[in-house]
Structure 1
């Protein structure tokens, strides 16, 4: 194994409280929309933007839902840059140890600027070689994993994530999947699993 590619939400941190607060600042501007909750957001983890807007805003048109979600994304990034999210326990130490022996990457189904906001507030960018998301490329998670593999000439990476979509993306890219059981999703098929992020250090 030469590298580890991570999902972000539910794998490295939990940003749901921050995201909900940011989104509700936008939603309050629309009489036809109800504020969302952390549980509402949990149901969207691992999805791409179009699917998220349909789940969160089913009572308005798809076009209007996309527009509202885009405004949410913009406020969300500003919010996270200033307040961050909840890192999983000992994440900084885990990344520091792993980065000594492996190249680290992030591929997440998020908007452009989200991973950068994660790096900005928590000062963790120094551990990662590269990252990608559909907000920049318009590609699926599996395609973005392959893109990162190709441009960084990775031969034997693994993907660490917490949802069924993550498993399918890793399978699409032809690499092993490590299921983060502490995250947001339920996954039946996986090559390895961890109960907490620290277990990655001993696993590899």
Structure 2
């Protein structure tokens, strides 16, 4: 168990609590089929692997590099709006023992989510999987249009946290925690690779959090 006195746990979403690559591909390809002027192959899960953790307009630049910025950003807005409703109805793949572990942790700590996602995406997760009661507050790129570190700082200040810890799966998550001045726990089972000097603990499953916190 970590010998730390944390007053809150902030979670990343994709690659930390759920995997939505399959339903996102389904949703986005429905919208792309309506845009004959956009010339690219259907989106597949492999296309999303290098995009996990990036702000949505950065993802648009990766997936639609041939389009002008205004065009691809408008397209991404449309994709995300449809995706939110699609995920709220169908959900994603939750990592094992997610609800049970969140329940256990919520008895000891206030829980939060900070993600680089669009506005409404976190709410889709909370709605589809009935998770709202576990979390005190959330923040995202789609509301702040700032880096994840700045979104972390906003949530930390808003909730008067003094020593929270961030749980995520990518080097970007680790950097966001460092820049916000908080500890980082690396979810090794997720999408990214994180150097050993960037985290205070590493977990191989979500359920391990209840053992170390």
Deviations 1:96-124 (A, max 9, x none): 00000001000000000010111111000
2:200 pairs, out of 187, 191, 201, with: 191
For the 8 Å contact 1:26–1:68, the answer to whether it is kept is: no
* Aligned-partner Cα distance in 2 for 1:199–1:26: 38
Instruction: Describe how 1:88-99 pairs up with structure 2 within 5 A.
Output: 88-99=95-106
Unpaired runs of 5+ in structure 1? none
Deviations 1:144-187 (A, max 9, x none): 11111111111110000011110110001000110100001111
* Aligned pairs, number: 204
Shift, 1:59, TM fit: 2.0
1:52 pairs, out of 59, 64, 78, with: 59
Question: SS at 1:44's partner residue?
Answer: coil
Partner of 1:35: 42
What TM-score do the two structures reach when normalised by structure 1? 0.98
* Aligned-partner Cα distance in 2 for 1:69–1:12: 23
Shift, 1:34, TM fit: 1.8
Shift, 1:62, TM fit: 1.9
Shift, 1:136, TM fit: 1.0
For the 8 Å contact 1:20–1:36, the answer to whether it is kept is: yes
1:9 paired with 2:9, answer: no
Shift, 1:52, TM fit: 0.5
Question: SS at 1:198's partner residue?
Answer: helix
Shift, 1:65, TM fit: 1.1
Question: SS at 1:129's partner residue?
Answer: strand
Query: What is the root-mean-square deviation in Å for CA atoms of aligned residues?
Result: 0.9
Ranges of 4+ aligned residues in structure 1 off by more than 3 Å: none
For the 8 Å contact 1:104–1:130, the answer to whether it is kept is: yes
What TM-score do the two structures reach when normalised by structure 2? 0.93
Partner of 1:25: 30
For the 8 Å contact 1:3–1:154, the answer to whether it is kept is: yes
* Aligned-partner Cα distance in 1 for 2:57–2:122: 19
Instruction: Describe how 1:62-77 pairs up with structure 2 within 5 A.
Output: 62-77=69-84
Partner of 1:146: 153
Instruction: Describe how 1:119-158 pairs up with structure 2 within 5 A.
Output: 119-158=126-165
